[in-house]
């Protein structure tokens, strides 16, 4: 015997309800929450996250981009010709796996194409390679830090 289980129709988008449910996700360390009214359903989830509570608040995403000038010319980190930026939104990992040494260190010389770090996006590990040869002048992100598209990750001089 085959059961035909119908899925309840989705509720019309209500930004206030969705915002409230998203806040509940964060406050309670949940990865998904459902809210049903009659035969209608709203589901809010955070992709790629587990239901384990977060032990410490993360730093603001744009905190790694200093806005002060790098030199007397007045250029900022984002304008630096050797700025390596995030090509996607995700989580930065400075080593190939937990417990392994970092791909690179400050002051180290790198060749073009050498792996610098990994950005995890939707459970896919994306290797970020050096766009040019040079010396790592600054590493502006920390291990396991979330980043936005365009965030300056490091500077190569």
Both 83 and 49 in a single domain? no
78 plus 149 within the same structural domain: yes
Tell me the three state secondary structure of residue 23.
helix
**Does the CA dihedral 113-116-119-125 come out positive or negative?**
positive
Residue 62 in any domain: the answer is no
Give yes or no for a contact between 136 and 105, defined as CB atoms under 8 angstroms apart: yes
The pLDDT score that the predictor gives to residue 51 is: 40
59 in a structural domain: no
Cβ contact 35:21 at 8 Å = yes
pLDDT class for 2, splitting at 50, 70, 90? low
Task: Tell me the average pLDDT of the chain.
Answer: 77
pLDDT band at 12 (very low <50, low <70, confident <90, very high): low
pLDDT surpasses 80 at 144: yes
Domain housing 11 = 7-54
Is the residue at 104 inside a domain? yes
In a domain, 61, yes or no: no
pTM above 0.75, yes or no: no
Regarding whether 142 and 97 lie in a shared domain, the answer is yes
- Same domain for 25 and 90, yes or no, is no
């Amino acid at each position: 015997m085959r059961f035909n289980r119908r899925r309840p129709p989705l509720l019309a988008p209500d930004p206030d309800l969705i915002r409230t449910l998203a806040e509940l996700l964060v406050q309670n360390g949940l990865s998904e929450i459902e809210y049903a009214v009659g035969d209608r359903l709203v589901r809010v989830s955070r992709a790629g996250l587990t239901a384990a509570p977060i032990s410490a608040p993360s730093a603001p995403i744009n905190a790694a981009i200093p806005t002060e000038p790098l030199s007397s010319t007045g250029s900022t980190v984002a304008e630096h010709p050797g700025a390596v930026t995030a090509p996607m939104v995700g989580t930065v990992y400075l080593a190939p796996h937990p417990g392994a040494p970092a791909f690179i260190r400050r002051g180290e010389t790198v060749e073009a194409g050498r792996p610098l770090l990994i950005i995890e996006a939707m459970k896919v590990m994306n290797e970020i390679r050096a766009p040019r040869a040079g010396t790592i002048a600054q590493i502006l992100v920390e291990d396991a830090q979330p980043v936005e598209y365009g965030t300056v990750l490091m500077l190569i001089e």
